[in-house]
Structure 1
Amino acid sequence: MTLVEAPIQDRYPTRVDPDTGREWIAREEPTVHPGGPQGPASAEELSAHERDGFHIQRDLLSDEEVAACRDDLQAMVRDPSVLADERTVTEPGTDEVRSVFDAHLLSERIARLIRQPRVLDRARQILGSDVYVHQSRVNLMPSFRGSGFYWHSDFETWHAEDGMAGMRAVSLSIGLTENLPFNGGLMLMPGAHRTFVPCLGRTPDGNYRSSLRAQKVGVPQEEDVAELARRHGIEQFTGPSGSALWFDCNSMHGSGNNITPHPRSNIFVVFNSVDNPLAEPFSAGERRPEFVAARDFTPLRA
């Protein structure tokens, strides 16, 4: 007798037909999962993360570490082979580098950093399990011309286009420059992570090629954003270089353009639980490439 594996239930349907409606869906999973190590995050930080969907870790990197990571970032964006690679994403309408993916594979320094207990154990503590890297990149927002990202939940895309079934992933953004209130810093809605907001429209083939530059599919309707902001308010991640923001995969977040003389750059790493491996996309006809959504679920080790 041949056993047929049952399909994974789609608990968060999205990319729906406008005529069928789009009811909000209450989150099923906790934000901080039991079973992880006791440290390094404090009880207060974990409580804030559970409540708001994010918390800030001050002084994650020393000034010397920030300078070294900036050197690695500059080496990446000057490397002709990296610039010619699909992993490098440019600003819309220009050839200025916006993101370079697979940062932890291109930089030995970043690879070592994310395996250090101060980072890895905090990810394991939040997700309550071993973790692997779902995605990593360095982001650059140049002065005067840096373009932002519209409001969105990362999980909506990872669920629809990558097959991430549950909300058991956490993102880490480490500032390599000062995050000011006016240079395109990340904005978040505290508490909105407890609600999944389905998006409208079908996923085009090869959508990642355009969405990594300017996302148009997989973003909420303006009335949804307005209601979430009314309920939860908006906060912004600011702080000196070396500060870090940990935020839940379903956090509603976005960033404005940077028209100031102050560029902004960061290291961005997504940790996913090994107990939440990717299946087939729930709302797309094809998988995205490995540099956007890794399918090597080997636990990250110190």
Structure 2
Amino acid sequence: MYKFVEGQPLIVTEKMKEDFWRDGYIIVKQLLTKGEIQKVVGSLEAPDSAVMAESYEQDDGFGRNVRMVLWNHPGNDVTGMVNRCEKMVNTCEKLLGDDVYHYHSKFVMKEPHTGGAFQWHQDYGYWYLNGVLFPDMISVQIGVDRMDKENGCLQVLRGSHRMGRVEHGRIGQQAGADLERVAEAEKVLDKVSVELDQGDALFFHCNLLHTSSANNSSRRRWAMICCYNSVNNDPVKKHHHASYTPLHKVSNSAIMDCKNLNDLSGKWFVNPNKTGREYLPTEPRKQ
């Protein structure tokens, strides 16, 4: 477990790389400051939040829903600054060993007592179907709220990324990994509950098997997940996530400096529950 020190660059050490490639993930404490989290949350909780206007519900296959909002191009609002800031992007690049571009990001919102579960899956389990040839991809989950076992935090099988891609099918509106394969993996790999405080970040490999249970607690469980692909791994076909688009990094201070809390110019949303809300990679959404 590592810690980001505000005002200093996040140095990715050889030990961090070693841990990432051995376990499939690392945790960086306080990647986002309390002020940065409050700014992001404020932009979402505002009655006129343009980002939340693009949210939708997804069936978990067991009678519950998870609310989500998903976008591809990061844009210039405060959530886009999180996607583009150096402490996020540079860390992904150092861990993968290549430059990256923004593949997509989302907020996952599990409300108290009602928020649904996510089935065991690998992100590359379905990104593979988008024409992405190699698992040279990484995701970063940020705790917007405190995330623990009680409210449905992420669970991972440590080292499962070394299994390669597992076959996936559909469970409700979600993609789920072959449960027989998962059961065998559980016999030989440690299952870890990834508990995060506000602002903590989990950097994880796209083949890491992970799941999360329903939120049966009285507390909200919101998370932001930012996903990146290697620039040398451009998908070979058009699909509903971003193909290679140069990522323009910003300084870490850009999150707090950003005044565009509701400006969606340059963003590209995907909402499967709305007709006409999926945009081709060559046609980013225009305001």
Q: TM-score normalized by structure 1? A: 0.72
Which residue number in structure 2 is paired with residue 259 of structure 1?
216
Query: Is 1:134 aligned to 2:91, yes or no?
Result: no
- How far residue 200 of structure 1 moved from its aligned partner, in angstroms, is 6.0
Query: Is 1:89 aligned to 2:89, yes or no?
Result: no
Which residue number in structure 2 is paired with residue 13 of structure 1?
none
- How far residue 96 of structure 1 moved from its aligned partner, in angstroms, is 7.5
- How far residue 84 of structure 1 moved from its aligned partner, in angstroms, is 6.1
Q: Does the CA-based 8 Å contact 1:132-1:297 persist in structure 2? A: yes
Which residue number in structure 2 is paired with residue 195 of structure 1?
163
Q: Report the CA distance shift for 1:226/1:79 in structure 2 as closer, same or farther (over 3 A).
A: same
Query: Is 1:46 aligned to 2:42, yes or no?
Result: no
Which residue number in structure 2 is paired with residue 273 of structure 1?
230
Q: Does the CA-based 8 Å contact 2:125-2:177 persist in structure 1? A: no
Which residue number in structure 1 is paired with residue 31 of structure 2?
60
2:43 to 41, 63, 72: 72
- How far residue 111 of structure 1 moved from its aligned partner, in angstroms, is 1.6
Structure 2 unmatched runs, 5+: 1-8, 251-287
Q: Does the CA-based 8 Å contact 2:43-2:49 persist in structure 1? A: no
Larger radius of gyration: 1
Which letter maps to 1:150? Q
Which letter maps to 2:177? P
Which residue number in structure 2 is paired with residue 172 of structure 1?
140
Moved more, 104-113 or 235-244: 104-113
1:158 to 115, 122, 127: 127
Query: Is 1:231 aligned to 2:188, yes or no?
Result: yes
Q: Report the CA distance shift for 1:179/1:81 in structure 2 as closer, same or farther (over 3 A).
A: closer
Corresponding residue SS for 2:95: helix
Count of aligned residue pairs for this structure pair: 240
Q: Does the CA-based 8 Å contact 1:103-1:110 persist in structure 2? A: no
Q: Report the CA distance shift for 1:237/1:118 in structure 2 as closer, same or farther (over 3 A).
A: same
Which letter maps to 1:40? I
Which residue number in structure 2 is paired with residue 31 of structure 1?
none
Q: Does the CA-based 8 Å contact 1:135-1:270 persist in structure 2? A: yes
Distance 1:128 1:246 in 2: 14
Which letter maps to 2:219? H
Which letter maps to 1:297? T
- Bigger proportion of residues as strand: 2
Deviations 1:116-150 (A, max 9, x none): 22111101111222211111111111110000110
Distance 2:236 2:120 in 1: 25
- How far residue 40 of structure 1 moved from its aligned partner, in angstroms, is 2.0
1:101 to 61, 70, 82: 70
Distance 2:157 2:248 in 1: 30
Distance 1:109 1:275 in 2: 28
Q: Does the CA-based 8 Å contact 2:125-2:166 persist in structure 1? A: yes
Which residue number in structure 2 is paired with residue 247 of structure 1?
204
Which residue number in structure 2 is paired with residue 214 of structure 1?
173
> % of aligned pairs identical?
25
Corresponding residue SS for 1:150: strand
Q: Does the CA-based 8 Å contact 2:65-2:116 persist in structure 1? A: no
Distance 2:182 2:117 in 1: 16
Deviations 1:10-49 (A, max 9, x none): xxxxxxxxxxxxxxxxxxxxxxxxxxxx962222222111
Deviations 1:142-194 (A, max 9, x none): 1100001100111010002x111101010011111001121110000011101
- How far residue 66 of structure 1 moved from its aligned partner, in angstroms, is 1.1
Q: Does the CA-based 8 Å contact 1:168-1:249 persist in structure 2? A: yes
Query: Is 1:121 aligned to 2:90, yes or no?
Result: yes
Which residue number in structure 1 is paired with residue 112 of structure 2?
143
Please tell me the root mean square deviation across aligned C-alpha atoms, in Å.
2.7
- How far residue 246 of structure 1 moved from its aligned partner, in angstroms, is 0.4
2:242 to 267, 278, 294: 294
Q: Does the CA-based 8 Å contact 1:104-1:137 persist in structure 2? A: no
- How far residue 107 of structure 1 moved from its aligned partner, in angstroms, is 6.3
Q: Does the CA-based 8 Å contact 1:177-1:264 persist in structure 2? A: yes
- How far residue 277 of structure 1 moved from its aligned partner, in angstroms, is 0.5
